Amino acid sequence: MYLVTDSGVVMFDTPWDTTQFQPLLDSIKLKNNKSVILCIATHFHSDRTAGLEYYSQQGIKTYTTILTDEISKKNNKKRAKFLISKDTFFNVGQYSFETYYPGQAHTVDNIVIWFKKQKILYGGCLIKSADDDDLGYLGDANTAEYASTIKNVEKRCTQPKFIIVGHGDWTNTNSLKHTLKMAQQLKKKMIANSL
């Protein structure tokens, strides 16, 4: 997702495919006649962070949380130039939005972006599409806490009009409830297996 403001474009997460880094900047510029000035990656996986170093080199202010940066460093992922230590409000041009860390789920460091005024939730990989059959890659996940983390998102980001998910279709806002249901089922299964 990207946000076009009076002062430039904000990009949320980066492409994974290195051959897409520059073409994405070019097509944003062509369509909007504005350059990307800021980029925030929402967790350490490469489908969010791969472009951070390249975009820093292009003069774009790149951001992650300190936690994401620590994990990225450990896992040899690309890292941002600027770090945020807590939930942060960004004011860019005529828009404002906040980063929110709801707890561990898809990864220990996953954050969401909330446009309170517009009621737009950018969920990243934490929120699955309404037609997804499972929670996707759980290799770095906290399956025990996933459901309560999703509840935190519901509490903080009330009645979103749009929910942008990490992969797949975003038009169906049932995605958040659907993700919660899958997380609750997974937790039940885990408890049953441990008995």
Provide the binding-site residues for Zn ion, judged by CB under 5 A.
Answer: 45, 125
Which uninterrupted H or E stretch holds 98? Answer: strand 95-100
Cβ proximity to Zn ion, 10 vs 165, nearer residue? 165
Smallest separation, CB 80 to Zn ion (Å): 16
Cβ proximity to Zn ion, 92 vs 108, nearer residue? 108
Q: What does the block give as tokens for 118?
A: 């517009």
Smallest separation, CB 99 to Zn ion (Å): 16
Q: In terms of DSSP H, where are the helices of the chain?
A: 21-32, 46-49, 52-57, 66-74, 146-156, 175-194
Smallest separation, CB 109 to Zn ion (Å): 10
Smallest separation, CB 93 to Zn ion (Å): 29
Cβ proximity to Zn ion, 9 vs 111, nearer residue? 111
With a CB cutoff of 8 Å and minimum separation 6, the contacts of 82 are: 61, 62, 63
129: nearest Cα among 93, 87, 163:
163
Cβ proximity to Zn ion, 9 vs 40, nearer residue? 40
